[in-house]
Structure formats: structure tokens, C-alpha cells
Structure 1
Amino acid sequence: MGCPVGKSNRAEVTARAAEMRAAQARKERQQKQMIAAAVAVVVVIIAVAVGVAIANNKSTGDPGATTTGSAAAFIPKLAAIPAATFDAAGAPADANAIPQKVEGGQVLTADGKPRMIYVGAEFCPYCASERWAIVAALSRFGSFEGLAPTRSATNDGNIPTITFTKSTYTSDYLTFNAWETKDREFKPLQTLPADVDALFKRYNPEGGIPWTFYGTHELPGSGIPLQPFLEHTGDNGWNEIVAQMETGTGNVGKSVDASANMIAAQVCQLTGGQPANVCTSTGVTAAAALVQK
């Protein structure tokens, strides 16, 4: 038999049990507090990391992020460069901006109008610079829809520009067709149709881009100096470039406007001098003197 427990022993046992329960409760509270503190620290660390990432994105900008909101607000301005600014720019000083006569070439037609062809790629920095002049020039003969801001490849200039990928062009005087064969990450984008691919391989066997083809003339490459564009690769680059084009000033404005005059002069050769207000303007007339006969 076991020894019976007296009253005093029972009181001691009861008190000791209460102390043990209290100690256990304290231990559990401490554990919960430690877990809560650890969770709070993790939450703070995550919040700080997210905040830093957002701040960095705002300060440096995602080089490929070009939304259709405020980022595209420059496009209507690009399509409406003042005629006086084009006139002041005159003819391009760089011989590379002058289209070369194509041996055996002839005017192409589509939809009953002379046809102009562009082949490029979104990653290409020279395509990036040339598109500014093409859009400015052709907006004097018609209108674009679906133009969107983009950049050349991050590791190839990261130059702010416009893409023709989803664009259409409407004009009473000219048919303009454009293809961007790869995106800014060098992935395949658009495939040349058979007739354009044949022209591209025949007249541009080395396959260089950009390639602008007028049927009778071609411009391999870009006639606009690339270096100045590298000074406008920030988040506001598109607006900076078009602002210079509007005034014909700065390290980009005049050279792009003059190249646009050269493009317009070449187009006027295809359209028979129409529209007259463009083809007889001072800037286009100055550039027309450089058209290769």
C-alpha cells in the first residue's frame, strides 16, 4: 500500500502545481512574443525591400516600360513639327542621310499609289534614330495610327524611339509599309512577306538594317548621328527629343528635322510633287537638290 497523503502535503502539492502551471504559462507567452517579434522583423525587411525596389524603378525607370498613357503623349507632337522648323533645318549635312540611286530600280506601287518600304527591328539603335525622321516626314503626307513608344535593346543604346509593329499609315499620296523583324530582346517579331523579302535580299544582300526602300532609291542604315541620342535615354527621353525637333535646336533636333526633309524630298519624287505645300517648301526644296538623279 502507498503511504496516505496528509493535509499539509496536499497543500504543498497543490501550491507547487499552481507554480508549475504559472511557469508554463509564462514560458508559452514568451515563446509567442518571440514568434511575433520574428514575424514583425520579417515583415519590416520585406517592406523595406519592396520600397527600395519601387524607388529604384522610379528613379532609373524600366528601360522597356513604355505605357500608352503619358509616355505616348509625345507622338501627336512628333506628327506636327512646324513647317517653319523644317524650313530652317534645310538639307542634311551628313551624306549618309541621302538615299542612293538603285540600278535598275523602278517605282513600286500598292493601292494605286507609289510605295515606300521600311525594314528594321526594335532592338536596333540606328533604326531607333531613323524612325524619328520617318514619322516626322511621312506625317506631312498622311497620318499614322497605332504608333507606340519603345527603346532599342538595353545593351544596344537603350534609345527612346517609336515602333511600327502595330501601326498603320493612311495617305492620299503614298503607301508606306513597315516591318520590325525582331523585338528589343532580339526575339522574332514580324516576318517579311515574299515580295518584300525578295527586294530586301536583292538590293540589300548584306541584310543591314534599317533599310528604307523607295523603289528607285534606297537608304541603307540611318543618316542621323547616333551619339546625341545616348544623352536622352532617361525616362523623359521621348519628350526631350521631340521638344528639340519642334524647335530644331539642341544636339538632336536639327539633324533629325533635316533628315526628315530628305525623306520628304525623296517621297516628292514618287508623288509627282504632291502635296505642293510640302514639296515646294523651303526645307524640302533644299533637300531635293541632293536627290541622286
Structure 2
Amino acid sequence: MGKNTARAEATRKAAEMRAAAARKERQQKQLITAAVAVVVVVIAAVIGLVIASQPDKAPASANSAADTAVAKLGSLPAAAFDAAGKPATPNAIPQKLDGGKVLKNGDKPEVLYVGAEFCPYCATERWSLVAALERFGNFSGLTTTRSAENDGNIPTVSFKDSKYTSDFIAFRAVETQDRNGKQIEQIPADIEPLFKKYDAPPYVDAQSQGAIPWTFYGTNQTVGSGVPIQPFVSLTDDTAWTKIVDQMMTGKGDYGQPIMANANAITAQICTLTDNKPSDVCASPAVVQTSAMLKK
């Protein structure tokens, strides 16, 4: 009986030792698992910080072929504007505003623009605005961008941080949001009342109230773009800007012709503000032809 008791006691102790060893092994595994999890979390956090610190991928890199193409916008030949002719659609013709008055910035008439980088219609309209305004002065600081990825992804330029100088006309542009919808500029206090008054009924239909792009000439305005966006949707790689500008240099093609024809409409409107100066621009064949489409 004593031997049996001793044997049972030994068996019990052995079982306890095995159980204790198993518990210790489980605890060690849990500690290792927890340590690994902590390491993974730390690594993920570091990677997240690195990614967050990187700037958003630009639609076209600095000093790229896109920038080289945009630099050519200051030397568009007069023959290209004439080759494009007048716009095919009346949407490109600025709307006459009853009671509208020419805005002044110092001693120069002023043109206003409100848009946003995400907006596909702003994307196409900017090409024409730049082409037209370069006939009266010079831009600096234009940058390449695209409309929102899920809204055409259309290659264009941005007026944010750009400057415009001219002996004939003043130009102010506001890009309210970037291509991701983040606010980057506020509409200035002196422009906002005009925007709210004229980009609303009865000057536009109720569904278009507040629509962009809004280009304001004081006596006339354009809401939307005179350039169709569909041809531009297929331009998905970094050669897009070169393709567009190359066609603008000729005034022909699916991109060049509508952009430059729309630019002729903008030019004709600006000529009404500058007393038809410079004369070589305002008396050019395509501008004279397009001027006949303006409402007096």
C-alpha cells in the first residue's frame, strides 16, 4: 500500500511537471508572438510614415518633356490660329451680360477665371485661355497637372502659382481645389460677389449655378468649356502634353483645332476690351471671323 501511494505521488508530480513545462512553453510562444506582432506594427508604422512623407506622384515630372512642351505655348504661330478658324460650337462664344461693365485692374481691363484642378472642363479650357492670353502677354510659372483620375484624367496646365504680365490686359485666376479635391485657394473677396451673381440664374440655368470653369470679362462670361473633353481622355501617358502642344502649333488635329478655335473666341472677346490692340492679333483673319459671332 505504501509503495502504491508513493508511485501515485510520483505520477502526480510528474504530471504537474509536464503541465508546468507545457504552460511555460505556451507562455514563451505567446511572448514570441507578441514580440513579432510589435515588430510588425513598428515596421508598418515606419513604412506608413515614409509613404506619408513622400509627395503625391505628379502627373508629369519636373523638367520633363511635358514642361518643355508647355514652354512652347508662348510661341504659338499666328498661322496656327488662322488654320483652326472659328469655333464649331456656340458654347465657345462668351455670353453677353446685360448691364455688365468692364473690370479694371489699374489702367488695364481685367479678365477673371475661377476653376479647379480636378475639373475636366477646366482642363480643356485652360489650354485655350493660355493660347489666347499669350497673344497679349506672357505667362510664367505654369505647371502641368491632370483633372481628377476618376474624372477624365485630362492632361492640362494649372494657373496656381502662375504669373501673367501684359501691356494690354490683366488676368487673375483662382484654382480652388487640387486634382484630389483638396482646397488650395480661396476665391478672393472682390471676386466672390461677381461669381455668386453671374454664375447663377438668370445668367445661367439653375442646374449650372456655381459651375466651373467660369471666365468673366465684365461685359461677357463663359461658363464651361468650348473644347470637347472626349478626345483628351485617351491621353494617359507622359507624352500627352507634347501631343497636345504639337497639334496646337499647327491648329489642326483632334486636340489642336478645337483648342485653337476656342482660343480665337477668347481672343476676339479680349479684343473688345483692349480697343482691338494689338492690331496684328485683333485684325488676324480667324479673330475677325470669330468676332462676327460675338453678341454686340
> TM tier, shorter chain?
0.7 to 0.9
Give ranges in structure 1 of 5+ residues lacking alignment: 1-61
Task: Give a deviation string over 1:266-290, Cα, whole Å, max 9, x none.
Answer: 0000000000010001111111111
Give ranges in structure 2 of 5+ residues lacking alignment: 1-55, 201-208
Any conservation in 2 of the 1:132–1:162 contact (CA below 8 Å)?
yes
- 1:203 and 2:206 correspond: no
For residue 125 of structure 1, what is the aligned residue in structure 2? Answer: 120
For residue 237 of structure 1, what is the aligned residue in structure 2? Answer: 240
For residue 68 of structure 1, what is the aligned residue in structure 2? Answer: 62
Q: Distance in 2 between matches of 1:232 and 1:248?
A: 18
* Alignment of structure 1 residues 18-167 onto 2, 5 Å: 64-70=58-64, 71-167=66-162
Any conservation in 2 of the 1:63–1:154 contact (CA below 8 Å)?
no
For residue 31 of structure 1, what is the aligned residue in structure 2? Answer: none
Any conservation in 1 of the 2:59–2:238 contact (CA below 8 Å)?
no
TM-score calculated relative to the size of structure 2: 0.77
Q: How many residues align?
A: 232
For residue 286 of structure 1, what is the aligned residue in structure 2? Answer: 289
Task: Give a deviation string over 1:131-163, Cα, whole Å, max 9, x none.
Answer: 000001100000001100000011111110000
SS at match of 2:294: coil
Aligned residues with identical type, % of pairs: 54
TM-superposed CA distance for 1:63, in Å, is: 7.0
The structure with the largest alpha-carbon Rg is 1
For residue 190 of structure 1, what is the aligned residue in structure 2? Answer: 185
Task: Give a deviation string over 1:238-270, Cα, whole Å, max 9, x none.
Answer: 001111111122211111110001100000000
- 1:247 and 2:250 correspond: yes
Q: CA RMSD in A?
A: 1.1
Q: Distance in 2 between matches of 1:215 and 1:288?
A: 17
For residue 266 of structure 1, what is the aligned residue in structure 2? Answer: 269
Any conservation in 1 of the 2:79–2:250 contact (CA below 8 Å)?
no
